[in-house]
Amino acid sequence: MEAGQMAEAASPALRERLEERLRDNPALGAMAVIAVIFIVLVATHGLHDVAQTGLNGLSLGAIYALGAVGLTLVYGILRLVNFAHGDFLTFGAYMAYLVNVTWGAPLVVAVFWAMIATALIGLLFERLLWGPMRRQHAGFLQLILMSIGLAFLLRAIVQWFWGTQIRLLDVDTTSTVDVLGLRIGQTELIVVVVGVAVLLAVGLMLRLTLLGKRMRALSDDLELAETAGIDTRRVVLYTWIFAGALAGLAGVLAGAITNLRPELGFELLLPIFAAVILGGIGDAFGALAAGLVIGVMTEWSTLVIEPRWKTAVGFLVLVIVLVIRPQGIFGKAKAV
Amino acid sequence: MSLDPGAIFPLAVTLESLTDPSFWVGVGVIAGTYAIVGLGLQLNTGFTGIVNFGMAAFMAIGAYTMAILVLKAGFSFWLSLPLAMLASMLFGVIVGLPSLRLRADYFAIATIAMAEVVRLFAQNARGLTGGNRGLFCEEENPSNCYPDAWNDVADSINGLVENLWADPPSLFPLLLVIWVAVGLATVALIYVQRTPWGRVLRAIREDEDAARALGKNTLAFKLQSLAIAALLGSFAGFFLALNLRTLHPVDFEPLVTFFAFSVLILGGMANYKGVFVGSILFWFLLEGTRFIELPEPPFTETRIAALRLAITGLLLIGLMAFRPQGMFGKRQEMVLGE
């Protein structure tokens, strides 16, 4: 009786404390949600299936995360919602195709070329478009429509030279590898390993190097960073190189586990936006984590729904985040 | 040494299609459809300051609701139209309620995501929408792609113009109906813009906080603006359905919304008459790639499609860089946000 009363008295206070904790650190809440989903799925479908789909999800998630980290930094630093970012991925994938299939060079060479070429077009458009537009203080609508125009232009270039037919990179799509009782395609395994390794490297670079710190400082508050004496123009150029190279890599990885078509990147753009917003706009670490989460969630969903609906998961996450917490799970409460 | 005339004039214009009335009627039908979408965008983006990237979804909901009601539920064409309009407006309100509270960039992403959800649904809910195979033409009788009620309307329009034009192209009745609708919608919107309601929209575009400080429920005004755009979107959806005869999810790609944005920007922001001119010019430009006979070796069909995409992209980039206000807009009404 007494204990019951105490519990009743304690529970509102406890709930209040819990709510406060969640408000201060919503990433905890998100992790709790993921944990609950994980437990429910393991209970209903068994650990093997959950781990198997989760592994597939990691390869998809690595692609989302690689795309999202560049998009979020460009967004944070330049206040540019770059709708052409998806077509950077497409461009990278076709650059790899050019080297890998047309010229017959090994895929590793193709990957490096794709990263360099995509970084270069990132720089090119900064010099031709974004820099001049920033100097004339272009409005938000001007920039967003310009990025859409650029997306169409890039897709048109790809379609002009390679057509709309589906193309494949020269990768092994048939042989599989058994890891800890899980079966994964050889190419998919490479994508997971490369993707996660690069993500770790990117995370370390952002945390430890001066350039990484400067990028995050600019993304956080451009004017403050400028006042602190950071050469913003140089950081902006490095950001484009960084975003372009990672987008190019993400495009090749996406092309390797599926196939190449001119819409490849545009179709990936919205899940990537979902990762950017879930992670909090401008937050590079948030984008990395959120990309992986959305990738894994997308593949987990195939346990419950038909695989053809799985694309909806990214959109669902996007909608839920926008309604509940538009500043993202890592973002601070500010006007959105 | 003989010279191939095609080598000297690779961009020879074939007068054949230029003088073909069905070509012009086709361009007019598309231009009219997009003028209606553009009017909705003008109300949203030009006058209310909300960047709506989801017009394709409103068109899809209008078109699919109408077609499903007629084909699957046996409703009459005339009853299905208002129901489809309501469905589209309701969808606009449901989408707008959570997302219109957000900053403009978040709203833009939210609306394009919502439009993709609708397209994904149309693609995958095969029992209802026919999926990628399409919807509208009767399976047992593919020659009958229009509802009977529309055929009656088309017949009576053809009967009216019989004395002036004996054998008009098959899309001619649709052309007339669309442009009457464009005219009525333009007049209505211009009128509405002069009312106090219209002035509140402009105030929201200029400074939402100030409008709120004056006691205006800005969310309600923005919702109404979005719902009217959804209504116009459903009209465009009907016209698209009657034009294409068969609905496919691919007809409602985000590209559709951005074609309409090109129309809007070309005509100019905050100017309804600009939409009218912008749409005709834009589609003349895009469809023009059809009557310039391009030599086959480099210009395959997919390359001409790529060319149209490139024209749209370059047009958007060029206008934004050099003339963001378009032909008839005012520059100070273009700079949204910061």
Q: Which pLDDT tens digit goes with each residue over B224-239?
A: 999 999 999 999 999 9
Q: Which residue has the tokens 């329009």?
A: B157
Picking from B100, B106, B123, B257 by the largest number of A CB atoms within 10 A of its own CB, the best residue to mutate is: B106
Residue A90 contacts residue A272 (beta carbons within 8 Å):
no
Query: Model-level pTM?
Result: 0.88
**What pLDDT is stored for residue B72 in this prediction?**
84
Instruction: Give the pLDDT band of residue B64 (cuts 50, 70, 90).
Output: very high
Residue B307 contacts residue A156 (beta carbons within 8 Å):
yes
> In A, which residues are within 8 Å of B113 by CB distance?
270, 273-274, 315, 318-319
Sign of the Cα torsion B293, B298, B299, B304 reads: negative
Q: What angle do CA B306, B310, B315 make, to 5 degrees?
A: 155
Provide the chain A residues 142-161 that lie in CB contact (below 8 A) with chain B. Answer: 142-146, 148-157, 159-160
Q: Which residue has the tokens 């019989």?
A: B162
Query: What is the average pLDDT value for chain B, to the nearest integer?
Result: 86
Contact (CB<8Å) B310/A157: yes
SS3 for A1?
coil
SS3 for A182?
strand
A273 Cβ contact list (under 8 Å, min separation 6): A71, A318, B109, B113
Q: What angle do CA A91, B301, B245 make, to 5 degrees?
A: 110
Q: B287: which 2 tokens?
A: 């469809």
Residue stretches of chain A with pLDDT short of 50 = 1-2, 333-336
CA distance A90 to A100: 15
CA distance A325 to A330: 10
**Largest Cα–Cα distance of chain B, in whole Å?**
82
pLDDT at B4 over 50: no
Contact (CB<8Å) A81/B307: no
The reply to whether A252 touches chain B by the CB within 8 Å rule is no
A211-247 pLDDT tens trace: 888 888 888 877 788 888 888 888 899 999 999 999 9
**What pLDDT is stored for residue A332 in this prediction?**
52
CA distance A41 to A300: 8
**What pLDDT is stored for residue A12 in this prediction?**
67
SS3 for B300?
coil
CA distance A99 to A268: 23
CA distance A294 to A272: 9
Contact (CB<8Å) B313/A156: yes
> In A, which residues are within 8 Å of B306 by CB distance?
155-157, 159-160
pLDDT at B14 over 60: no
